Amino acid sequence: MSPIAANLQGVRRRISEALQGDSREVRLVAVSKTRSPDMISEALAAGCRDFGENYVQEAIPKIAAIGQAGACWHFIGPLQSNKARDVAQAFDWYQGLDRVKIAEALSKARPAGREPLQVCIQVNISGEATKSGVEANEVVPLAEAVAALPGLKLRGLMGIAAPSEDTARQRREFATLRVLYEGLRDAGYSLDTLSMGMTDDLEAAIAEGSTMVRIGTAIFGSRERAA
């Protein structure tokens, strides 16, 4: 078995243990930023379908090399409006939405004939000023704006917890996102994606109701360049 296949097996085991018998599906996005097309192919061969990238320039040639047929591509990074067209054309999902202006640009640039771009609104749950994402009180207005755009389909919320060894703190931050997600569902939005959990905090995220984890390091090894 290749190292990537073995790592994937380990991640799937962590996910199923964290579910503690709960039957919900947790979708695994393999975060392939900084990784070569060969490594992505290896993950594909081991059964991964979802890949996450966060630099547009790096991702476009990789997507071209791997193709869009067998893989589902998630853009998970901050996005400037001058790159919105590239994301709308090359990706299936955008998980970092935090501005109406970007939502409008993405919707406009989504090619006719493709299904809408699937989006998660990113919420700043860590409280760090440097982190992207909307504040809690901005979630509903942004969700309303997205719902009116034909090129986008709102699937849920995404959040990144502050790096911390403190499981209780991780869980508090993820719980904030879950409450916001449930609030939107109660308000009538049909959502199915609560995207939270990375290599170091997937157990806490799943304990708080995550339905999608974004895992890089535990699948591909440590990254050389900070990302």
Ligand X SMILES: *Cc1c(COP(=O)(O)O)cnc(C)c1O
The first and second tokens of residue 61, run together, are: 């040639």
| Cβ atoms within 10 Å, residue 5 | 16
Which residue is associated with the tokens 């999902």? 93
Q: How far is the CB of 150 from ligand X (least distance, A)?
A: 26
Query: Total number of residues binding ligand X (CB under 6 A)?
Result: 15
Q: Residue 227, interface with ligand X (CB under 6 A)?
A: yes
As measured in angstroms, the least distance from the Cβ of 199 to ligand X is 3
**Does residue 79 touch ligand X according to CB under 6 A?**
no
Distance, C-alpha 92 to centroid of its chain:
11
Among 123, 198, 206, 207, binds ligand X (CB under 6 A): 198
| The token pair that represents 105 in the structure block | 């640009």
CB of 74 to ligand X, least distance (A): 9
The residue among 65, 61, 66 whose CA lies nearest residue 86 is 61
Backbone conformation region of residue 128, classed left if phi is above 0, alpha if psi is from -120 to 50, else beta: beta
Considering only 76, 106, 120, 152, the residue that binds ligand X (CB under 6 A) is 76
CA–CA gap between residue 39 and residue 48 (Å, rounded): 11
By Cβ distance, which residue is nearest to ligand X?
216
| Per-residue x/- track, 149-188, ligand X (CB under 6 A) | -----------x----------------------------
Is residue 34 a contact point for ligand X (CB under 6 A)? no
Residue 51, strand partner residues:
30, 73
Residues of this chain that bind ligand X (CB under 6 A): 31, 33, 54, 76-77, 160, 198-200, 214-218, 227
